[in-house]
Chains A and B, each alone.
Chain A
Amino acid sequence: MLKEIRILTDHGKQYIPDLRKQPVSERFRGRPVISEVITREEIEKVAAICPVNAIDRRNGSIDLGRCTFCNECALMLPGTIGFTNDYRIAASRRGDLVVMTGQTEVLRLDETAVRKEIRRLFRRSLKLRQVSAGGDNSCEMELAASCNVNFDLGRFGIEFVASPRHADGIVITGPVTENMSEALEICYKAVPSPKVIILVGTDSISGGLFEGSPALQRGFIDRHPVDLYVPGNPAHPLTFINGVMDLLGL
């Protein structure tokens, strides 16, 4: 017992008190800022190297639903494109993930786009079923980390549960493979209505790097309404947590 107490004292307090303001490494790549003076040629140059067509050739905007946060565009045009370490980049509408040139203000989830019943029913307790459908296990590990001793998402009554029957919604990672598409559909059907869908990671939002792969079957994403998009490769636990907090109005 004494040994346990010593280990615990040594362990100290690991819990992050304010999940809204927890600082992360300067090098962490969150919300990008693209200078409004970016030229046509510059846009053309970075759009040409972007591995996932996240940069719009017409206006130089970056779509965080496609971006893999590889940083190559910012390294090519330092001072013109840069990634801040602002991790609050989740959105409730797909279009809100597009960051325009000259846009410096923070991204905040559009309250009006949130379905009324979500806040009414799930504000105090949200149970989620996670489904990995071709995820590379990094988003899955970050979601598991969201519930660990540091991030402790459970403090808000938000939890991952084993059965879809106990869940209020599903959290999807991965680009949705053909081989997983049926199980995903069955799992979603097993969740009682009303239910929430959250997409975590670039792969699940747009297919990411795997877009167009003949091994995918993304029909599920097209057929069902999505409540929250959480970008990242993988999505940082703080991005996920803040996104869900915003969704629930916490």
Chain B
Amino acid sequence: MNHPSYIELKNGISPIMTTDVPVIEYDIFYEKVRELLIDKSNHCLSYYCYAFAGRLKFICCIADDNTGIIRLLSHEMRPDNTTLKALTPFCPSIHIFEREIHENHGVEFPGHPWLKPVRYPHDRADRMSVMDNYPFYEIESEELHEVGVGPIHAGVIEPGHFRFICNGEKVLHLEIQLGYQHRGIERLFVDKGDALQRCLLAENIAGDTAVGHGLAHAQLIESLAGIEVCEALQIERCIALEMERIAVHIGDTAALSGDVAYQLGQVTCEALRTMVINTTQFWCGNRFGKGLVRPGGSNYPLTEETAGEILKVLEEVERRYENVTGRIYTLPSVLGRFEDIGRVTRPQAESIGVVGMAARSCGIVRDIRRTHPFQYYRNFEINPVTLEAGDVLARGMLRALEVKASAGIIRALIDSWRKTEKSVGRPVYNYKLRPGSFAISLTEGWRGEICHTVVTDSEGNVLHYKVKDPSQHNWMALALAVRNQEISDFPVCNKSFNLSYCGHDL
């Protein structure tokens, strides 16, 4: 079945031996990736490299959304070579990965139009490249002016720098400089040999996605350590993931309402979010679900009492949220601020590889729960909600629709859970990872697809760990969304994406 230029695998199930991955010449790799990415049902999950035995080993994972297959392509580079022909001019969605490889390992990509720093990691190839000398794009003109915002913003949010080039009130160009949140997460996954530490690291990649990242990590470990989890636990994990989605979507609705001074929407949604996260706290003691997902088992198996509480709260939240969003999205004063603002078109989104709810808001069916199902979603068909407009209104309304859909999914999941045999054991921390292997794990967090990959050495130690938060793809979408908009519309555009700084900076 395997084509000689790549190896095929599926989400979370099949670790492979690194020696089984065909290593091809870069020219062939280049052609193959171009050929694959021309097909719109394929997209690049992750492309990175790591140093091994004096060479750089490159791994590129391309997902086929029609078949659920992930194709793994690989090439190598000797130390005497430092340049690779850039793929970005033909496959713009690769831009962020080539930039990352350049920043981390000093590889040059001639032809790359935007080979700029990504996050200034502590172990970057060029220590002369520092936060202060970021090469911002400039336009020479007497009529234009620049506006710089951040890293510290007006609200209680994470840091990042936004540089606008404006013509009067109109934004011509936005460049986003990130990296302030860089904590060295990927390196710590290698350095910290302890299973529990790794779980906590995963949960803290982005605290608003503790379940999404925690689950991506647990799945990865389970696949490499050969740990099977029972159906009940798989269902519980899906419930937790949907709870996280509901909570954040409602919180974002509050933030969007607040930005256009619709206080009623803001305060009611804030209170509804509180109800959801307090239910997560009722379940596991933490409002963000930290501690809930662990490899092999759970410290907080779902009980009938918790399930009952979830159902009760959901019913109330769903009803009230529907009432208030019904009002928010019909009010002329709100619509005037959301409609046709911050539009990302479908062709734009496809070309830069937008994922998750931002992609679904402009008509792209991209949802790992459906295309590369994991956990109990394998037995459970998800029909992703999509909207066409790609503007702030679409991203707002998609949240309302997804909250409703997720509430329905949770009810169905709890039904299935009640019928399954419950044999959820304690977490497994004393696992042994399969040596010399590669594994990949995908989940669909509330923002979009999360991808964790790992390579182990001949002893079964973690040799390399790679994390991809959906924000990594989607920050570029925000930059495009504000073009030709009034600068005063930036806050609603930004909130409508609600991207992660720490998830990006790692």
Contact = CB atoms under 8 A, between A and B. Distances in A.
Interface of A: 3-4, 6-8, 10-11, 14, 24-25, 27-29, 49, 51, 68-72, 75, 83, 129-145, 148-150, 160, 162-163, 174-175, 177-180, 182-183, 187, 203, 209-210, 213-216, 233-234, 236
14 contacts: A7-B264, A7-B268, A8-B264, A14-B271, A70-B196, A134-B180, A134-B181, A134-B182, A137-B500, A137-B502, A177-B183, A179-B179, A209-B200, A215-B187
Contact of A138 (B281, B285, B290): B290
Contact of A137 (B207, B283, B284, B300): B207
Counting chain B CB atoms within 10 Å of each CB, which of A129, A135, A187 scores highest? A135
Contacts of A175: 183
Interface stretch (B119-127, B228-236, B391-399): B119-127
A71 B299 contact: yes
B320 interface: yes
A215 B183 contact: yes
A167 B321 CA distance: 35
A25 B278 contact: yes
Contacts of A72: 196, 299
B256 interface: no
Given A75-B299, A137-B207, A233-B290, A177 B181 contact: yes
A236 B185 CA distance: 24
Those 5 A-B pairs whose CB atoms lie nearest each other, nearest first: A138-B207, A215-B184, A27-B285, A136-B207, A162-B154
Given A132-B158, A160-B156, A234-B207, A179 B180 contact: yes
Given A72-B196, A130-B156, A214 B131 contact: no
A214 B285 CA distance: 31
Interface of B: 120-123, 131, 151-152, 154-159, 179-184, 187-188, 194, 196-197, 200-201, 204-208, 210, 251, 264, 267-268, 270-271, 274, 278, 281-288, 290-291, 299-300, 320, 323-324, 327, 426, 429, 500-502, 505
A24 B267 contact: no
Contacts of A137: 157-158, 206-208, 500-502
A6 B200 contact: no
A13 to B, nearest CB: 10
A133 B208 contact: no
Given A25-B281, A27-B282, A140-B157, A209 B197 contact: yes
Nearest to A142: B287
B182 A179 contact: yes
A4 B210 CA distance: 35
A4 B326 CA distance: 11
A143 B158 CA distance: 12
B185 to A, nearest CB: 8
Nearest to B324: A7
B317 to A, nearest CB: 12
A137 B209 CA distance: 9
Given A6-B323, A131-B152, A144-B155, A210 B500 contact: no
B320 A11 contact: yes
B285 A29 contact: yes
A129 B152 CA distance: 10
A4 B122 contact: no
Counting chain B CB atoms within 10 Å of each CB, which of A10, A70, A144 scores highest? A70
Nearest to B194: A51
Nearest to B179: A179
A215 B182 contact: yes
B357 to A, nearest CB: 17
B285 A71 contact: yes
Contacts of B210: 138
Given A130-B156, A149-B270, A4 B208 contact: no
A54 B319 CA distance: 44
A234 B181 contact: no
A214 B184 contact: yes
Contact of B122 (A29, A132, A178): A178
